[in-house]
Structure 1
Amino acid sequence: MKFIGVIPARYASTRFPAKPLALLHGKPMIQWVVEGARKSNLLREVIVATDHEDIRKAAEAAGAKVAMTASELPTGTDRIYAATKNMDFDVVVNIQGDEPLVTGELIDSLAGLFQKDNSLDMATLAHPISLEELESPNAVKVVVNQKDEALYFSRYAIPYSRVPGAKAAALTGCLKHIGMYAYTKNLLKQFCEAPPAEIEIAESLEQLRALYLGAKIKVLRVKEASLGVDTPDDLAKLEKILRGN
């Protein structure tokens, strides 16, 4: 089974323009992500899918291959499809370009699910949720079945509508979703060639399109999320943590 990793990295960002090039502990953030991904034992190659020449140069300097993609692509998944549709692989891991502490071990744990179950279409990550995360629309929740397959994703406090989370004995009815994905080549093609689903539009969550299409999404439980960077403040906090270590 051939695994590849793709890091979608666009230049424009409403909250943090040029984020992949922002310096963290003296290195561009995209370099941190590439170096972490290249420690994977399963990925045959690591590709940065970008729309900007400066990101291309930084990615290549870090040892990644680069695919130039159109700026107007709507999502990271579309960017990955544009970069890989003519490539030979079985599974692609979508590695977030704003998680500089990503590890090869985490990537291999996710990709390895497909070695254990060749009927999988897609896999993702989640960790135990806090009450604050449960109540926040910025934290995506996932409900799973007894096989840890996703039933539904939401920004709302599912399934704590009639019994609020604050009154629940334990918050085990859902997990906090982490936005790293792995897809088979067939599902990626099907996903990107299908129109957005109504439930996807309503929740503003593209993974709901995969469920709508009938995909089986395995959810790998991890202890906690890695530290991502959404804003310059997040970058400053992470810089302090790295300096402390």
Structure 2
Amino acid sequence: MTRALIVIPARYASSRLPGKPLLAETGKPLIQHTVEQAMKVNGVEVVVATDDERIIEAVNAFGGNAVMTDPAHQSGTDRVAEAARGHDAEIIVNVQGDEPEIDPEVISLLIETHAAAQTSTRPAFTSTLVCPFPEDTDPAGPNAVKAVLSAPDDSGVRSALYFSRSLIPYPRSGEARPFLHLGLYAFTKESLQAFPTLSRTPLEQTESLEQLRILEHGHRIACGVVREAAPGIDTPEDYAGFVKRQAAL
């Protein structure tokens, strides 16, 4: 079995929802819901990587594992890389802390995708997930990140050709449609530690999408396709909807 570590980056600061990881109207802090979903994946270790002592205390209180990381990190991947340094896991998965309803099977698929992509003639630097666009999501909206994929390679895994906040491909003719990108990533321990050494790139800075740094440096991003995205928590309205769904369980 592939040894895997799930790292959940969780910052206290949030421009749209301050203190988001510690919101607890369900009776549990939001970060606990995410940790509990991640722990349902067989054979993995789960750790929260944070920049705030309040989150450390909350995770310790429910029996989770949390580590303090440098508050100056510019991306969640940088934070994950610090938290995973020295761990012997073969694959490290970055699961966002504001995904309390993430399906454990989706995380498992990401691990399987990255393991398969390492057997290819062109191993992947990282792997991620996409899904068809939900009917209630506008593909032209800049907050919905679009992905276009290659055909499957010799290992049966597709690759990202590009990600954008703009609508791609341009619908001039034909039936090609973009996928919605989901913000989960899997790395080998070597590629994860290499990521912070890659210089920031013009496309990354233009679109504010860190995965473009990987593509712009010439590396491969493998992509698994799932049926749908779990609702993330970005706004007070998102959180209110989550609380309501939890109350109905």
TM-score greater than 0.5 by the shorter chain: yes
Query: How far apart, CA to CA, are the structure 2 residues paired with 1:37 and 1:24?
Result: 21
Please, which of 160, 163, 167 is the counterpart of residue 170 of structure 2?
A: 160
The CA RMSD over aligned residues, in Å, is: 1.7
Q: Would the aligned equivalents of 2:128 and 2:183 in 1 still touch at CA under 8 Å?
A: yes
Query: How far apart, CA to CA, are the structure 2 residues paired with 1:232 and 1:130?
Result: 21
Percent identity of equivalent pairs? 42
Q: Would the aligned equivalents of 2:50 and 2:68 in 1 still touch at CA under 8 Å?
A: yes
Q: Would the aligned equivalents of 2:113 and 2:223 in 1 still touch at CA under 8 Å?
A: no
Q: Deviations over 1:162-203 (max 9, x none)?
A: 45xxxx6x5x43101010111112221221111111111111
Amino acid at match of 2:242: L
Query: How far apart, CA to CA, are the structure 1 residues paired with 2:218 and 2:62?
Result: 38
SS of the residue corresponding to residue 138 of structure 2 reads: helix
Aligned to 2:106: 106
1:206 lines up with 2:210 in the alignment: yes
1:16 lines up with 2:9 in the alignment: no
Query: How far apart, CA to CA, are the structure 1 residues paired with 2:185 and 2:74?
Result: 17
Amino acid at match of 1:192: P
Aligned to 1:72: 72
Query: How far apart, CA to CA, are the structure 1 residues paired with 2:128 and 2:43?
Result: 16
Amino acid at match of 1:190: A
How far did 1:24 drift?
Answer: 4.3
Q: Would the aligned equivalents of 1:5 and 1:94 in 2 still touch at CA under 8 Å?
A: yes
Aligned to 2:189: 185
Structure 2: gaps of 5 or more residues = 153-157
How far did 1:130 drift?
Answer: 4.8
Amino acid at match of 2:100: P
Amino acid at match of 1:121: F
Aligned to 1:46: 46
Q: Would the aligned equivalents of 2:103 and 2:230 in 1 still touch at CA under 8 Å?
A: no
* Equivalence map 1:1-245=2 (5 Å): 1-43=2-44, 45-118=45-118, 119-130=123-134, 132-147=137-152, 148-160=158-170, 162-163=172-173, 170=175, 172-245=176-249
Q: Would the aligned equivalents of 1:100 and 1:228 in 2 still touch at CA under 8 Å?
A: yes
Aligned residues: 238
Q: TM-score, normalised by structure 1?
A: 0.91
Query: How far apart, CA to CA, are the structure 1 residues paired with 2:43 and 2:162?
Result: 29
How far did 1:9 drift?
Answer: 0.4
Q: Would the aligned equivalents of 2:92 and 2:186 in 1 still touch at CA under 8 Å?
A: yes
